[in-house]
A and B are shown apart, each in its own frame.
Chain A
Amino acid sequence: MAFKIIASQCTQCGACEFECPSVAIKFKGEAYVIDPNKCTECKEAADTQQCVSVCPVPKTCVPA
Protein backbone atom coordinates (compact mmCIF):
# COMPACT_ATOMS: atom_id res chain seq x y z
CA MET A 1 0.00 0.00 0.00
CA ALA A 2 0.98 3.54 -0.56
CA PHE A 3 -0.38 7.07 -0.69
CA LYS A 4 -0.97 9.23 -3.73
CA ILE A 5 -1.55 12.91 -4.48
CA ILE A 6 -4.67 14.14 -6.27
CA ALA A 7 -2.93 16.52 -8.65
CA SER A 8 -5.99 18.66 -9.38
CA GLN A 9 -6.24 19.62 -5.68
CA CYS A 10 -2.55 20.13 -5.01
CA THR A 11 -1.31 23.72 -4.52
CA GLN A 12 2.24 22.61 -5.31
CA CYS A 13 3.53 24.03 -2.06
CA GLY A 14 6.04 21.23 -1.70
CA ALA A 15 5.59 20.79 2.06
CA CYS A 16 4.92 17.07 1.68
CA GLU A 17 8.11 16.63 -0.30
CA PHE A 18 10.38 17.72 2.47
CA GLU A 19 8.36 16.13 5.26
CA CYS A 20 8.22 12.67 3.70
CA PRO A 21 10.58 10.47 5.73
CA SER A 22 10.92 8.03 2.85
CA VAL A 23 11.89 10.59 0.21
CA ALA A 24 9.02 9.21 -1.84
CA ILE A 25 7.67 12.54 -3.11
CA LYS A 26 9.12 14.41 -6.10
CA PHE A 27 8.02 17.16 -8.41
CA LYS A 28 7.64 15.51 -11.78
CA GLY A 29 6.95 17.66 -14.79
CA GLU A 30 3.78 19.42 -13.69
CA ALA A 31 2.89 17.89 -10.37
CA TYR A 32 4.05 16.36 -7.12
CA VAL A 33 3.97 12.59 -7.33
CA ILE A 34 4.41 9.84 -4.73
CA ASP A 35 6.55 6.92 -5.76
CA PRO A 36 4.50 3.90 -4.60
CA ASN A 37 7.62 1.79 -4.35
CA LYS A 38 9.18 4.13 -1.84
CA CYS A 39 6.13 5.14 0.21
CA THR A 40 5.99 3.25 3.51
CA GLU A 41 2.84 5.03 4.70
CA CYS A 42 5.22 6.37 7.34
CA LYS A 43 4.75 3.14 9.28
CA GLU A 44 8.12 3.11 11.03
CA ALA A 45 8.80 6.81 11.02
CA ALA A 46 5.75 8.56 12.47
CA ASP A 47 2.29 8.12 14.00
CA THR A 48 0.52 9.70 11.08
CA GLN A 49 1.23 9.97 7.39
CA GLN A 50 3.36 13.07 7.20
CA CYS A 51 2.14 14.13 3.76
CA VAL A 52 -1.48 13.97 4.93
CA SER A 53 -0.75 15.89 8.12
CA VAL A 54 1.08 18.76 6.48
CA CYS A 55 -1.01 19.14 3.35
CA PRO A 56 -3.16 22.29 3.46
CA VAL A 57 -5.85 20.90 1.20
CA PRO A 58 -8.12 18.18 2.63
CA LYS A 59 -8.30 14.88 0.75
CA THR A 60 -5.32 15.64 -1.46
CA CYS A 61 -2.91 13.02 -0.08
CA VAL A 62 -5.01 9.87 0.02
CA PRO A 63 -4.52 6.10 0.09
CA ALA A 64 -3.76 4.92 -3.40
Chain B
Amino acid sequence: MKATDLSKPAGFARQIKAVLVSLLILGGLSAAQAAQDQGGLIAQGKYLAEIGDCVACHTPQGGRELSGGLPFETPFGIVYSTNITSDKETGIGYYSYRDFYRAMHEGISPNGNLYPAMPYTSYHLLTDADTRALYAYFMNTKPIRQENKASEISFPFNIRMGLKAWNMMNHEDSEFIANPAKSDSWNRGSYLVNVLGHCGECHTPRNTTFAMKPEAHFQGAVLDTFEASNITPQELNRQNWTHEDLKQLFTKGYSRKGTVFGGMYPVVYHSYSHLTEQDMRAVTSYLLDNEADIEELPLAFNGHDKDAPGYNIYMGYCAGCHGQDGEGRPNVAPALAGNATLDRSSVFNAVSLLLNGIVSQHYNSTTSFYAMPGYAEKFDDQQLTDLVNYMRITWTGQKADIRVTEVNDIRTNMKQALH
Protein backbone atom coordinates (compact mmCIF):
# COMPACT_ATOMS: atom_id res chain seq x y z
CA MET B 1 0.00 0.00 0.00
CA LYS B 2 2.61 2.34 1.04
CA ALA B 3 4.38 1.74 -2.13
CA THR B 4 1.16 2.13 -4.05
CA ASP B 5 0.26 5.18 -2.04
CA LEU B 6 3.60 6.56 -2.58
CA SER B 7 3.57 5.64 -6.21
CA LYS B 8 0.69 7.97 -6.95
CA PRO B 9 2.35 11.11 -5.90
CA ALA B 10 5.57 9.77 -7.28
CA GLY B 11 3.87 9.09 -10.60
CA PHE B 12 2.22 12.48 -10.47
CA ALA B 13 5.51 14.05 -9.70
CA ARG B 14 7.05 12.24 -12.65
CA GLN B 15 4.29 13.53 -14.86
CA ILE B 16 4.75 17.05 -13.55
CA LYS B 17 8.48 16.70 -14.00
CA ALA B 18 7.99 15.45 -17.53
CA VAL B 19 5.74 18.39 -18.31
CA LEU B 20 8.20 20.78 -16.72
CA VAL B 21 11.09 19.23 -18.62
CA SER B 22 9.11 19.51 -21.81
CA LEU B 23 8.33 23.10 -21.08
CA LEU B 24 11.92 23.74 -20.21
CA ILE B 25 13.07 22.08 -23.42
CA LEU B 26 10.55 24.01 -25.42
CA GLY B 27 11.51 27.16 -23.55
CA GLY B 28 15.13 26.33 -24.09
CA LEU B 29 14.56 25.72 -27.75
CA SER B 30 12.60 28.92 -27.99
CA ALA B 31 15.36 30.83 -26.17
CA ALA B 32 17.97 29.22 -28.36
CA GLN B 33 15.97 30.11 -31.43
CA ALA B 34 15.60 33.66 -30.18
CA ALA B 35 19.32 33.88 -29.51
CA GLN B 36 19.99 32.51 -32.98
CA ASP B 37 17.61 35.03 -34.50
CA GLN B 38 19.19 37.81 -32.48
CA GLY B 39 22.63 36.64 -33.57
CA GLY B 40 21.53 36.74 -37.19
CA LEU B 41 20.07 40.19 -36.72
CA ILE B 42 23.27 41.47 -35.11
CA ALA B 43 25.36 40.00 -37.92
CA GLN B 44 23.08 41.62 -40.48
CA GLY B 45 23.34 44.92 -38.64
CA LYS B 46 27.11 44.65 -38.54
CA TYR B 47 27.22 44.20 -42.32
CA LEU B 48 24.89 47.14 -42.82
CA ALA B 49 26.97 49.28 -40.46
CA GLU B 50 30.05 48.42 -42.48
CA ILE B 51 28.37 49.49 -45.72
CA GLY B 52 27.26 52.63 -43.92
CA ASP B 53 30.92 53.25 -43.02
CA CYS B 54 30.07 54.29 -39.46
CA VAL B 55 33.58 53.44 -38.27
CA ALA B 56 35.26 55.99 -40.53
CA CYS B 57 33.51 58.98 -39.02
CA HIS B 58 32.99 57.73 -35.47
CA THR B 59 36.55 56.60 -34.74
CA PRO B 60 39.10 59.16 -33.55
CA GLN B 61 42.61 59.18 -34.99
CA GLY B 62 44.38 56.32 -33.25
CA GLY B 63 41.37 55.75 -31.03
CA ARG B 64 38.88 52.97 -30.42
CA GLU B 65 36.25 52.04 -32.94
CA LEU B 66 32.96 53.91 -32.82
CA SER B 67 33.92 55.90 -29.71
CA GLY B 68 33.57 59.24 -31.54
CA GLY B 69 35.61 62.41 -31.31
CA LEU B 70 36.75 62.74 -34.92
CA PRO B 71 36.62 66.43 -35.89
CA PHE B 72 34.77 67.63 -38.99
CA GLU B 73 35.47 71.10 -40.22
CA THR B 74 32.36 72.76 -41.54
CA PRO B 75 31.99 76.31 -42.85
CA PHE B 76 30.50 77.16 -39.45
CA GLY B 77 33.04 75.53 -37.16
CA ILE B 78 34.10 72.11 -35.96
CA VAL B 79 31.68 69.28 -35.24
CA TYR B 80 32.92 66.16 -33.45
CA SER B 81 31.44 62.77 -34.18
CA THR B 82 29.81 61.15 -31.18
CA ASN B 83 30.31 57.96 -29.23
CA ILE B 84 27.98 55.38 -30.82
CA THR B 85 29.11 52.35 -28.84
CA SER B 86 26.64 50.65 -26.52
CA ASP B 87 27.97 52.44 -23.46
CA LYS B 88 24.88 53.52 -21.56
CA GLU B 89 26.28 56.78 -20.21
CA THR B 90 28.51 58.20 -22.91
CA GLY B 91 27.36 56.19 -25.93
CA ILE B 92 23.97 55.24 -27.29
CA GLY B 93 23.36 52.21 -25.10
CA TYR B 94 20.39 53.90 -23.45
CA TYR B 95 18.64 54.53 -26.79
CA SER B 96 15.28 52.84 -27.26
CA TYR B 97 14.59 51.58 -30.76
CA ARG B 98 12.40 54.61 -31.25
CA ASP B 99 15.29 56.90 -30.24
CA PHE B 100 17.57 55.13 -32.69
CA TYR B 101 15.01 55.23 -35.47
CA ARG B 102 14.49 58.98 -35.03
CA ALA B 103 18.23 59.64 -35.04
CA MET B 104 18.71 57.64 -38.24
CA HIS B 105 15.61 58.85 -40.06
CA GLU B 106 14.87 62.30 -38.71
CA GLY B 107 18.21 63.50 -37.38
CA ILE B 108 16.79 63.90 -33.88
CA SER B 109 18.55 62.28 -30.92
CA PRO B 110 17.27 62.19 -27.34
CA ASN B 111 19.59 65.17 -26.77
CA GLY B 112 18.23 67.25 -29.61
CA ASN B 113 18.75 67.79 -33.31
CA LEU B 114 21.79 66.28 -34.96
CA TYR B 115 23.93 68.29 -37.33
CA PRO B 116 23.52 67.06 -40.91
CA ALA B 117 27.18 66.03 -40.82
CA MET B 118 25.51 62.82 -39.66
CA PRO B 119 24.01 61.72 -42.98
CA TYR B 120 20.45 61.13 -41.83
CA THR B 121 19.51 62.92 -45.04
CA SER B 122 20.55 59.64 -46.72
CA TYR B 123 19.91 57.13 -43.94
CA HIS B 124 16.26 58.13 -43.63
CA LEU B 125 15.52 55.86 -46.60
CA LEU B 126 16.54 52.79 -44.58
CA THR B 127 13.87 50.14 -44.28
CA ASP B 128 12.48 49.46 -40.84
CA ALA B 129 13.92 45.93 -40.95
CA ASP B 130 17.42 47.25 -41.67
CA THR B 131 17.09 49.93 -39.01
CA ARG B 132 16.19 47.20 -36.52
CA ALA B 133 19.20 45.16 -37.56
CA LEU B 134 21.46 48.16 -37.11
CA TYR B 135 19.92 48.83 -33.72
CA ALA B 136 20.54 45.22 -32.67
CA TYR B 137 24.16 45.54 -33.76
CA PHE B 138 24.87 48.85 -32.05
CA MET B 139 23.23 47.74 -28.82
CA ASN B 140 25.64 44.80 -28.83
CA THR B 141 28.85 46.65 -29.63
CA LYS B 142 31.52 46.74 -26.99
CA PRO B 143 30.70 49.63 -24.67
CA ILE B 144 33.45 52.23 -24.56
CA ARG B 145 33.26 54.99 -22.04
CA GLN B 146 34.26 58.21 -23.75
CA GLU B 147 32.54 61.53 -23.26
CA ASN B 148 31.44 63.36 -26.37
CA LYS B 149 33.23 66.56 -27.29
CA ALA B 150 31.23 69.75 -27.51
CA SER B 151 31.02 71.14 -31.03
CA GLU B 152 32.76 74.40 -31.84
CA ILE B 153 30.11 75.88 -34.08
CA SER B 154 29.92 79.64 -34.29
CA PHE B 155 26.86 81.72 -33.42
CA PRO B 156 24.08 81.59 -34.60
CA PHE B 157 24.64 78.14 -36.12
CA ASN B 158 25.32 76.68 -32.67
CA ILE B 159 21.64 77.08 -31.81
CA ARG B 160 20.35 73.63 -32.56
CA MET B 161 16.79 74.87 -32.86
CA GLY B 162 17.92 76.30 -36.17
CA LEU B 163 18.32 72.76 -37.42
CA LYS B 164 14.58 72.32 -37.17
CA ALA B 165 14.18 75.04 -39.76
CA TRP B 166 16.92 73.42 -41.86
CA ASN B 167 15.12 70.08 -41.67
CA MET B 168 11.82 71.68 -42.64
CA MET B 169 13.48 73.18 -45.69
CA ASN B 170 15.73 70.32 -46.71
CA HIS B 171 14.68 67.05 -45.16
CA GLU B 172 11.76 64.74 -45.59
CA ASP B 173 11.66 61.36 -43.87
CA SER B 174 10.41 59.29 -46.76
CA GLU B 175 10.87 55.64 -47.62
CA PHE B 176 13.08 54.20 -50.29
CA ILE B 177 11.04 53.67 -53.41
CA ALA B 178 12.26 51.07 -55.86
CA ASN B 179 12.28 51.99 -59.52
CA PRO B 180 9.81 49.57 -61.13
CA ALA B 181 11.46 50.02 -64.49
CA LYS B 182 14.71 48.59 -63.16
CA SER B 183 15.75 45.16 -61.93
CA ASP B 184 15.94 44.03 -58.32
CA SER B 185 19.71 44.10 -58.53
CA TRP B 186 19.78 47.68 -59.81
CA ASN B 187 17.41 48.75 -57.05
CA ARG B 188 19.48 46.95 -54.44
CA GLY B 189 22.49 48.86 -55.77
CA SER B 190 20.61 52.13 -55.58
CA TYR B 191 19.66 51.35 -51.98
CA LEU B 192 23.23 50.49 -51.01
CA VAL B 193 24.76 53.49 -52.78
CA ASN B 194 22.24 56.17 -51.95
CA VAL B 195 21.08 55.07 -48.52
CA LEU B 196 23.69 53.14 -46.57
CA GLY B 197 26.68 54.18 -48.68
CA HIS B 198 25.43 57.79 -48.52
CA CYS B 199 27.63 58.49 -51.55
CA GLY B 200 25.58 61.53 -52.50
CA GLU B 201 26.70 63.34 -49.36
CA CYS B 202 30.12 63.87 -50.92
CA HIS B 203 29.52 63.36 -54.65
CA THR B 204 26.51 65.67 -55.02
CA PRO B 205 26.99 69.44 -55.05
CA ARG B 206 25.12 71.42 -52.41
CA ASN B 207 22.90 74.48 -52.62
CA THR B 208 23.17 77.71 -50.65
CA THR B 209 21.72 76.06 -47.54
CA PHE B 210 24.22 73.20 -47.88
CA ALA B 211 21.62 70.64 -48.84
CA MET B 212 22.29 68.21 -51.69
CA LYS B 213 21.03 69.44 -55.04
CA PRO B 214 18.81 66.62 -56.30
CA GLU B 215 19.01 67.92 -59.85
CA ALA B 216 22.81 67.54 -59.77
CA HIS B 217 22.84 64.06 -58.25
CA PHE B 218 26.38 62.57 -58.25
CA GLN B 219 27.81 65.30 -60.48
CA GLY B 220 30.77 65.86 -58.16
CA ALA B 221 31.58 68.41 -55.46
CA VAL B 222 34.69 70.01 -54.00
CA LEU B 223 35.44 69.03 -50.40
CA ASP B 224 38.36 71.05 -49.04
CA THR B 225 41.37 69.89 -51.03
CA PHE B 226 39.77 67.26 -53.25
CA GLU B 227 36.82 67.02 -55.55
CA ALA B 228 34.54 64.03 -54.99
CA SER B 229 34.31 62.89 -58.61
CA ASN B 230 31.41 63.01 -60.96
CA ILE B 231 30.07 59.46 -60.61
CA THR B 232 27.05 59.72 -62.87
CA PRO B 233 26.63 56.76 -65.24
CA GLN B 234 27.29 59.13 -68.15
CA GLU B 235 30.72 60.09 -66.82
CA LEU B 236 31.69 56.60 -65.65
CA ASN B 237 30.72 55.10 -69.00
CA ARG B 238 32.55 57.86 -70.89
CA GLN B 239 35.69 56.89 -68.99
CA ASN B 240 35.07 53.23 -69.84
CA TRP B 241 34.75 52.01 -66.27
CA THR B 242 33.77 48.34 -66.30
CA HIS B 243 32.11 46.35 -63.54
CA GLU B 244 35.47 44.76 -62.83
CA ASP B 245 37.23 48.15 -62.66
CA LEU B 246 34.79 49.40 -60.05
CA LYS B 247 34.94 46.13 -58.15
CA GLN B 248 38.74 46.33 -58.06
CA LEU B 249 38.61 49.94 -56.90
CA PHE B 250 36.05 49.23 -54.18
CA THR B 251 37.67 46.07 -52.88
CA LYS B 252 41.37 46.84 -53.29
CA GLY B 253 41.48 50.62 -53.50
CA TYR B 254 43.08 50.61 -56.92
CA SER B 255 42.29 49.55 -60.43
CA ARG B 256 43.75 49.96 -63.89
CA LYS B 257 42.29 53.48 -63.78
CA GLY B 258 44.10 54.63 -60.67
CA THR B 259 43.82 54.59 -56.89
CA VAL B 260 41.41 56.10 -54.42
CA PHE B 261 42.65 58.93 -52.23
CA GLY B 262 41.43 61.44 -49.68
CA GLY B 263 38.06 60.64 -48.15
CA MET B 264 37.45 57.68 -50.44
CA TYR B 265 40.31 55.70 -48.89
CA PRO B 266 38.50 54.98 -45.58
CA VAL B 267 35.32 54.27 -47.54
CA VAL B 268 37.05 51.43 -49.35
CA TYR B 269 38.96 50.25 -46.32
CA HIS B 270 36.10 50.17 -43.82
CA SER B 271 33.09 49.84 -46.04
CA TYR B 272 32.94 48.85 -49.69
CA SER B 273 35.65 46.19 -49.44
CA HIS B 274 33.16 44.25 -47.28
CA LEU B 275 30.40 44.09 -49.88
CA THR B 276 29.25 40.62 -50.82
CA GLU B 277 29.79 39.56 -54.41
CA GLN B 278 26.10 39.94 -55.14
CA ASP B 279 25.86 43.38 -53.55
CA MET B 280 29.01 44.51 -55.33
CA ARG B 281 27.47 43.64 -58.68
CA ALA B 282 24.31 45.45 -57.63
CA VAL B 283 26.34 48.55 -56.76
CA THR B 284 28.33 48.56 -59.99
CA SER B 285 25.17 47.87 -62.01
CA TYR B 286 23.51 50.87 -60.43
CA LEU B 287 26.51 53.19 -60.80
CA LEU B 288 27.05 52.23 -64.44
CA ASP B 289 23.30 51.96 -65.07
CA ASN B 290 24.17 48.80 -66.95
CA GLU B 291 23.87 45.22 -65.82
CA ALA B 292 25.54 43.70 -68.85
CA ASP B 293 29.29 43.18 -69.04
CA ILE B 294 31.20 46.12 -70.51
CA GLU B 295 33.99 45.81 -73.03
CA GLU B 296 37.33 46.99 -71.67
CA LEU B 297 38.83 49.43 -74.18
CA PRO B 298 42.61 49.98 -74.46
CA LEU B 299 44.02 52.65 -72.15
CA ALA B 300 45.20 55.80 -73.84
CA PHE B 301 48.87 56.48 -74.44
CA ASN B 302 49.18 58.98 -77.23
CA GLY B 303 52.98 59.14 -77.27
CA HIS B 304 55.37 61.81 -76.08
CA ASP B 305 55.59 65.26 -77.59
CA LYS B 306 59.11 66.27 -76.65
CA ASP B 307 58.57 69.83 -77.76
CA ALA B 308 55.69 70.38 -75.37
CA PRO B 309 56.72 72.49 -72.36
CA GLY B 310 55.42 69.89 -69.91
CA TYR B 311 57.61 67.09 -71.27
CA ASN B 312 60.78 67.96 -69.39
CA ILE B 313 58.87 68.61 -66.20
CA TYR B 314 57.26 65.19 -66.43
CA MET B 315 60.55 63.46 -67.14
CA GLY B 316 62.37 65.31 -64.37
CA TYR B 317 59.80 65.07 -61.60
CA CYS B 318 57.24 62.38 -62.37
CA ALA B 319 58.74 59.67 -64.58
CA GLY B 320 60.84 58.26 -61.76
CA CYS B 321 57.75 56.85 -60.07
CA HIS B 322 55.03 56.91 -62.75
CA GLY B 323 57.32 55.54 -65.45
CA GLN B 324 58.83 57.04 -68.54
CA ASP B 325 55.74 56.16 -70.53
CA GLY B 326 53.36 56.54 -67.61
CA GLU B 327 53.23 52.81 -67.03
CA GLY B 328 53.46 53.18 -63.23
CA ARG B 329 55.38 50.95 -60.86
CA PRO B 330 53.91 48.16 -58.76
CA ASN B 331 53.64 49.11 -55.10
CA VAL B 332 55.00 52.57 -55.82
CA ALA B 333 52.78 54.66 -58.09
CA PRO B 334 49.74 54.06 -60.31
CA ALA B 335 49.84 54.16 -64.09
CA LEU B 336 48.72 57.28 -65.89
CA ALA B 337 47.25 55.76 -69.05
CA GLY B 338 43.50 56.12 -68.71
CA ASN B 339 43.97 57.43 -65.17
CA ALA B 340 40.56 58.63 -64.02
CA THR B 341 41.96 61.66 -62.21
CA LEU B 342 43.48 62.95 -65.43
CA ASP B 343 40.64 61.80 -67.65
CA ARG B 344 38.02 64.17 -66.29
CA SER B 345 36.63 67.41 -67.57
CA SER B 346 37.62 69.04 -64.26
CA VAL B 347 41.35 69.32 -63.48
CA PHE B 348 40.70 70.19 -59.86
CA ASN B 349 42.01 66.91 -58.47
CA ALA B 350 44.96 66.70 -60.84
CA VAL B 351 46.13 70.17 -59.80
CA SER B 352 45.25 69.59 -56.16
CA LEU B 353 47.28 66.38 -56.02
CA LEU B 354 50.25 68.08 -57.62
CA LEU B 355 50.03 70.92 -55.12
CA ASN B 356 49.45 68.85 -51.98
CA GLY B 357 50.64 65.34 -52.76
CA ILE B 358 49.06 62.16 -51.42
CA VAL B 359 49.86 60.33 -48.21
CA SER B 360 51.08 56.74 -48.54
CA GLN B 361 48.33 54.19 -48.83
CA HIS B 362 48.34 50.59 -47.68
CA TYR B 363 45.67 48.26 -48.99
CA ASN B 364 46.77 44.86 -47.79
CA SER B 365 49.88 43.03 -46.71
CA THR B 366 51.27 42.94 -50.23
CA THR B 367 49.96 46.10 -51.83
CA SER B 368 50.62 49.73 -51.06
CA PHE B 369 51.49 52.95 -52.82
CA TYR B 370 54.15 55.39 -51.75
CA ALA B 371 53.42 58.92 -50.67
CA MET B 372 53.50 61.48 -53.46
CA PRO B 373 55.17 64.75 -52.53
CA GLY B 374 53.35 68.04 -53.04
CA TYR B 375 54.88 70.54 -55.45
CA ALA B 376 53.14 73.72 -54.32
CA GLU B 377 56.46 75.39 -53.58
CA LYS B 378 58.26 73.82 -56.49
CA PHE B 379 56.06 74.67 -59.47
CA ASP B 380 54.61 78.02 -60.41
CA ASP B 381 51.21 78.21 -62.07
CA GLN B 382 52.67 78.14 -65.58
CA GLN B 383 54.70 75.00 -64.85
CA LEU B 384 51.69 73.29 -63.29
CA THR B 385 49.56 74.21 -66.28
CA ASP B 386 52.18 72.87 -68.68
CA LEU B 387 52.48 69.63 -66.71
CA VAL B 388 48.75 68.97 -66.36
CA ASN B 389 48.14 69.75 -70.01
CA TYR B 390 50.99 67.47 -70.98
CA MET B 391 49.69 64.57 -68.91
CA ARG B 392 46.14 64.99 -70.14
CA ILE B 393 47.05 65.07 -73.80
CA THR B 394 49.52 62.19 -73.42
CA TRP B 395 47.42 59.75 -71.37
CA THR B 396 43.76 60.65 -71.88
CA GLY B 397 41.42 61.66 -74.64
CA GLN B 398 41.10 65.11 -73.07
CA LYS B 399 42.31 68.28 -74.72
CA ALA B 400 45.29 70.20 -73.39
CA ASP B 401 43.25 73.35 -72.94
CA ILE B 402 43.78 74.13 -69.26
CA ARG B 403 44.70 77.77 -68.70
CA VAL B 404 46.99 79.31 -66.12
CA THR B 405 44.10 81.23 -64.59
CA GLU B 406 42.26 77.98 -63.84
CA VAL B 407 45.30 76.57 -62.09
CA ASN B 408 45.76 79.80 -60.17
CA ASP B 409 42.13 79.66 -59.03
CA ILE B 410 42.59 76.13 -57.72
CA ARG B 411 45.80 77.11 -55.91
CA THR B 412 44.00 80.05 -54.31
CA ASN B 413 41.08 77.85 -53.25
CA MET B 414 43.52 75.36 -51.83
CA LYS B 415 45.26 77.96 -49.68
CA GLN B 416 41.91 79.03 -48.28
CA ALA B 417 40.89 75.42 -47.61
CA LEU B 418 44.13 74.64 -45.81
CA HIS B 419 44.25 77.77 -43.64
Tell me whether A and B are bound partners. no
